[in-house]
Structure 1
């Protein structure tokens, strides 16, 4: 691999020994979203001088005024960052003073099913135009194996005229942010790093060692890139497994939820996954496609496990709506014209994040069947699907009494589930949280 050909960086690497007098910023983070802002906060709390770059002027203005747009970073934490001299910028001139630059921009799916690298290449061009000897550049954006060495490295070298591994350090470190998690934040979650040379990896590991308790060095950038895809593909495939089991277990008279409970008592060889209305967030519905793209474009055949998992998980909203229709039909009501209340429209509990939430296709399918759809979510004050607003109910308990069917899509901790079960005319629990007579469970 090209990344293993260059002489490794290290203390004896002369070009990296000189620190420019203008390098008074220790970290610049490009992309101040769900990944970049927690990283900037952790670095600022550690005592590093941090700047952030984001192309959205509304995000930059809010952060510089002490307001956060990310669930895991509070307004108080942003104000503490500002007190530690953090500033957000829309101008990439802020990169010129940074010793380390970490790229945390989105990588959505492109029309051909691979990652859309436009934001990554734009960020890399900004870095390259400001790159100097001795700097460390790290890509954290999720992508396919080979991106750092085949896309990022050539751009940096061509524009800057510097060589990775000799003049500057280049590495990949996959983000492992779990929005809403309270037991394993950025510092407690081991950080994987892979460099284009062993010296680059050491340099990146030294940097992240200031921010996290454990740093794990991968063999190279491709292995670090693959580690992220392996983690999410593992979850994607296993969620699809239990989702498909949920669909047939009911037909053969098996309580899958109880089977999962029993299997979970095994102290080895089993990890519990649970069915639901679909998968959401950026990672599980999106990231495995990057690996499929790489296999297909490089080898000419499909990664069949991912394709099958995607097919199953995408069917779940339709299955949920079909079950809802059956539940109403059993009570002598058609779905058409019925009032349906959705509880929890985010992609996971106790966050406001709606990326790829399965609640969206559920609403589309209910509307197509002419149901009257309303929603409640303690984290979402207003919501629209395909440009059409979904009415939010304010009095939750009154709403569950008035609606013909209530569907629990996300089990936020703010919900008093037993009270909701008592009040609802009909309750369909897609999260497996309410096991009592009269409640339909997925």
Structure 2
């Protein structure tokens, strides 16, 4: 592995045309950053409304402002739904979604579609980089053969690499520019081209041995988090039974200056990465090697069950008040998957909603970042979106129980504790000495 923070010999960005396929939370920041440093950038996306918004100077991604889009447009950025633009590209970067299919396996349809478009229009001399999260071997199994079938020689005519996205929505400290970028390529010449490109975009490029190593690096990062979150999500149940404040124990353990990294329990894992990425790895292990990745699969079981445990705690706390869950007024606070963003993808609030609803609970919600919420989980979808309660104080006071799911900075924690009859704190943020506060 090579770590390079210096700038090698480079061509002038403005002489090169970059096409970024996919203008979501990964592709749009890349397009904006590349435009900022002087590349001619086109954002390619299948969504007409997304393309129209971008060409009007309006962002649909939390971390990108309208002003940034307008500045990029002034610098020559444009968005399109027409794949023919690839024929004029010097560099093509694939940033499309890679969710799970209905059976819980990798869904690479968007990647295959992007590769098909590239194969239709690519010209000799183009650098192609896959950034979408995939299982190890995807670049060599899908992208490389599609280009070779055209008669191109990889490393001479076309240059192919993989560079995992590391976007952390809402992170005020680390963005695209100052987060080290891992790059692994098919040949040394491909590697040189990819490193040269990314060195103009980010401060530090980390060179992987090859595409498989770069692909695994992304899955390893999130599998590490997934397993450790599962550890504390399992421990929180045990500590509740043993009457131990796990959050206090974690704070104490964190004081050790070496050999420990703090993870804290919660209502479940959310977002695209942690609930999805490890499943790509476990699927690859089972399909290629024929045996399960047991530690990872157990972590999945534990974290997938976390919302149900929250529901069980709600039932128990209502029971202590002699209130049946059927008909009880339950207020959910914070339905996004992480604090201070509007992203609800894979939020644990969704399965929690359906579990409580199946018991007959009367559920309302509040989230300062979500005007309208339509829970979706395991094929279930509410008939109509739920409207956010607007009078938070009144909703808190009238609820039989409040479930604190996400620690948005806008929430006044002391006021929530004072106004609630009972509030279940799934994040360990509220004053445990308050009579109303019950920790998970």
Tell me the TM-score range normalised by the shorter chain. Answer: over 0.9
* 1:201 paired residue number: 191
Whole-angstrom distance in 2 between the partners of 1:248 and 1:314 = 17
* 2:36 paired residue number: 45
> Superposition RMSD on alpha carbons, in Å?
1.6
Q: Helix, strand or coil: the match of 1:132?
A: coil
Whole-angstrom distance in 1 between the partners of 2:110 and 2:172 = 30
* 1:181 paired residue number: 171
* 2:58 paired residue number: 67
Whole-angstrom distance in 1 between the partners of 2:168 and 2:30 = 13
How far does the alpha carbon of each residue in 1:159-218 deviate from its partner, in whole angstroms, 9 at most, with x for none?
x32121121110000000000001000111000000001221121111001111100000
Contact 2:371 2:387 in 1 (8 A): no
Contact 2:417 2:434 in 1 (8 A): no
* 1:147 paired residue number: 138
* 2:3 paired residue number: none
* 1:440 paired residue number: 438
**Alignment partner of 1:86 out of 77, 82, 107:** 77
Aligned pair 1:368/2:358, yes or no? Answer: yes
How far does the alpha carbon of each residue in 1:24-52 deviate from its partner, in whole angstroms, 9 at most, with x for none?
65211000001000111111111211101
Whole-angstrom distance in 2 between the partners of 1:74 and 1:157 = 40
TM-score after normalising by structure 2: 0.94
Whole-angstrom distance in 2 between the partners of 1:397 and 1:203 = 57
* 2:378 paired residue number: none
* 1:424 paired residue number: 420
Structure 1 stretches of 5 or more lacking a match?
Answer: 1-9, 12-16
Aligned pair 1:399/2:391, yes or no? Answer: no
* 1:223 paired residue number: 213
Q: Helix, strand or coil: the match of 1:204?
A: helix
Corresponding pairs, count: 423
Whole-angstrom distance in 1 between the partners of 2:114 and 2:170 = 27
Whole-angstrom distance in 2 between the partners of 1:64 and 1:405 = 45
Whole-angstrom distance in 2 between the partners of 1:79 and 1:395 = 35
**Residues 42-441 of structure 1 aligned to structure 2 (within 5 Å):** 42-158=33-149, 160-385=150-375, 386-388=381-383, 389-435=385-431, 436-438=433-435, 439-441=437-439
How far does the alpha carbon of each residue in 1:255-288 deviate from its partner, in whole angstroms, 9 at most, with x for none?
1011000000011111100100000001001101
Q: Helix, strand or coil: the match of 2:241?
A: coil
Runs of 4+ in 1 over 4 A off after TM superposition: none
How far does the alpha carbon of each residue in 1:76-124 deviate from its partner, in whole angstroms, 9 at most, with x for none?
1111111111100000111122111000001111245431111101101
Q: Helix, strand or coil: the match of 1:268?
A: coil
How far does the alpha carbon of each residue in 1:393-417 deviate from its partner, in whole angstroms, 9 at most, with x for none?
0011111011111111111111111
Whole-angstrom distance in 2 between the partners of 1:165 and 1:113 = 35
Whole-angstrom distance in 2 between the partners of 1:92 and 1:164 = 22
Structure 2 stretches of 5 or more lacking a match?
Answer: 1-7, 376-380
Worse-superposed segment, 369-378 or 380-389: 380-389
Q: Helix, strand or coil: the match of 1:428?
A: strand
Contact 2:15 2:39 in 1 (8 A): no
Whole-angstrom distance in 2 between the partners of 1:148 and 1:74 = 32
Contact 1:260 1:272 in 2 (8 A): yes
TM-score after normalising by structure 1: 0.93
Whole-angstrom distance in 1 between the partners of 2:275 and 2:252 = 28
